[in-house]
Amino acid sequence: MIKPEKKFRLSQNKNKVKNKKIIVRVDFNVDFAQGRIFDWHRIESVKKTLAELESAGQIILISHWDNPQPGSRAAKKFSFKKILPQIEKRLRLKIGFLKNPDERPKAKINLLENLRFWPGEKLNDRKFGRRLARLADIYINEAFSASHRRHASIVQPPKFLPSYIGPNFENELKQLNQIFKPKRPLILILGGAKISTKLPLIIHFLKKADLIILGGGLANTYLKAKGAQVGQSLIEEKTLTKVKSIDSAKIILPTDFILANKKETGLDKIKPTDRILDLGRASLELILTKIKSAETIVWNGPLGYVENKSFQNGTKTLAQALVKNKNFVLVGGGDTIAFLNRLGLINRFKRVSTGGGAMLEYLAKENLIGLEAILKSGRKKFRPISRNL
């Protein structure tokens, strides 16, 4: 667990940004379809950052969006220029657009083009990182959710500039750190398609958690690894051997399911042609009973095939129970948040981690690449490199 000292937190150093040029790494990697942004959570969170940067001279927001091939025609689809008017309207702000890091910023607040348009970003190229750093005097990381990536905009600027984490990053850490010193019982509920992404977290929490409830593809893979028949259900073949070696009475698995043919079946009745798509009633009941007795709950990953309304019941019922739970409940993960958004429930959760991979990585390793970069920057003396545009 990392608790950054005051000198690494913007909230404690607001006086240092006065009249300075600031680059802020945000995460505007948003869901977008039919010309509309679906989830405004990440974009709206920047308001809090900007409030702390009120006295700054100039602000340049930098972010990636999706994963376009640099230079490809298809990449244009992910140009921030296209969605900037929507962002300006939503935030009620005038924001200048920078085509590249060498352009002269025109407005007080600016947004640079999608960082992944430059190959240097994902290659963690030092020169590209320096080019970004030259835009400013100070670097702020507000992209907790992208801070598990060893990419230039996350790792390089703190090598050249005094650096801080922003208030949203700080809040993410505060929430997640509570899970390392939880009120007990602590229950983890993990679902989603791939167990490989959550395996390090499961292993790390086998000692720390009181229960780990598995659902979705994770449960299918675990059951199959232990020799159960799961028919044609979604599993992750490559992890079967590793999963087989994990044994713990703390792991709770579903015992009945809704199949693709919408019939409810017990685990022992599953046929080789069947496909599990949701929790059965008994499994759901068991989960609801367990969470009633928990003091701390962490949930990441849907427990069924929520893209189809017929198989949402398990995940939806869990979500409805959790919003009513008065204890410490933290939800996270891209698919979980997207689903809670669709249900209109997201705002009823008090603690939401914007990080998918980053949340899992921080919980599993108790560290994060982007955070390490900021802490390392604290040991340096910097000479100004800003281009004084």
The span from the CA of 244 to the CA of 224, in Å, is 9
Q: How far is the CB of 224 from ligand 3PG (least distance, A)?
A: 27
* Nearer to ligand 3PG (CB atom), residue 152 or residue 287: 152
Question: In this structure, is the dihedral angle defined by the CA atoms of residues 120, 121, 125 and 130, taken in order, positive or negative?
Answer: positive
Question: In 3D, which of 249, 306, 247 has the Cα closest to residue 279?
Answer: 306
Does 158 bind ligand 3PG (CB under 6 A)? Our answer is: no
Q: Which two tokens stand for residue 209?
A: 């958690």
Q: Return the number of the residue (67 or 310) whose C-beta is nearest ligand 3PG.
A: 67
Q: Which is nearer to ligand 3PG, 200 or 357 (CB)?
A: 357
Q: Residue holding tokens 């590209």? A: 128
Q: Would you tell me how many other CB atoms lie within 10 Å of the CB of residue 6?
A: 9
Region from 142-150, 211-219, 280-288, 294-302 binding ligand 3PG, contact rule CB under 6 A = 142-150
Placement of tokens 């979705």 in the chain: 216
Q: Does 70 bind ligand 3PG (CB under 6 A)?
A: no
Nearer to ligand 3PG among residue 167 and residue 333 (C-beta): 333
Residue whose CB is less far from ligand 3PG, 65 or 164: 65
Nearer to ligand 3PG, 63 or 377 (CB): 63
| Contact call for residue 145 and ligand 3PG (CB under 6 A) | yes
Q: Pattern of binders to ligand 3PG over 357-376, x per CB under 6 A?
A: x-------------------
> Which residue from 29, 58, 153, 336 is in contact with ligand 3PG, where contact means CB under 6 A?
29
CB atoms inside a 10 Å sphere around CB 384: 10
Left, alpha or beta for 241 (phi > 0: left; psi -120 to 50: alpha)? alpha
Q: Pick from 158, 166, 280, 356 the residue near ligand 3PG by CB under 6 A.
A: 356
Nearer to ligand 3PG among residue 126 and residue 150 (C-beta): 150
The correct pick among 55, 67, 273, 293 for binding ligand 3PG (CB under 6 A) is: 67
The DSSP 8-state label assigned to residue 181 in this structure reads S
Considering beta carbons, is residue 96 or 355 the nearer one to ligand 3PG? 355
Q: Which stretch binds ligand 3PG (CB under 6 A): 92-100, 141-149, 259-267, 288-296?
A: 141-149
Question: For residues 287 and 278, what is the distance between their CA atoms, to the nearest angstrom?
Answer: 13
The distance of closest approach from Cβ of residue 177 to ligand 3PG in the complex, given in angstroms and rounded to an integer, is 20
Question: For residues 300 and 356, what is the distance between their CA atoms, to the nearest angstrom?
Answer: 8
Residues in Cβ contact with 296 at an 8 Å cutoff, skipping those fewer than 6 apart: 178, 179, 182, 183, 184, 185, 186, 187, 327, 328
Using a 10 angstrom Cβ sphere, with 0-12 exposed, 13-18 middle and 19 or more buried, the burial of residue 250 is middle
Closest residue to ligand 3PG, judged by C-beta, is 29
Member of 96, 334, 360, 371 binding ligand 3PG (CB under 6 A): 334
Find the binder of ligand 3PG among 27, 52, 142, 361 (CB under 6 A). 27
- Closer by beta carbon to ligand 3PG, 9 or else 148: 148
Q: Taking the complex as a whole, how short is the minimal distance between the CB of residue 251 and ligand 3PG, in angstroms?
A: 26
Dist. CA 269–CA 330, nearest whole Å:
35
Q: What is the DSSP letter of 105?
A: P
| DSSP letter string, 48-81 | HHHHHTTTBSEEEEE---S-PPTT-SGGGGG-HH
227: nearest Cα among 215, 206, 243, 238: 243
Q: Torsions phi, psi of 124, nearest 5?
A: 55, 45
> What is the binding site for ligand 3PG (CB under 6 A)?
27, 29, 67, 145-146, 149, 334, 356-357
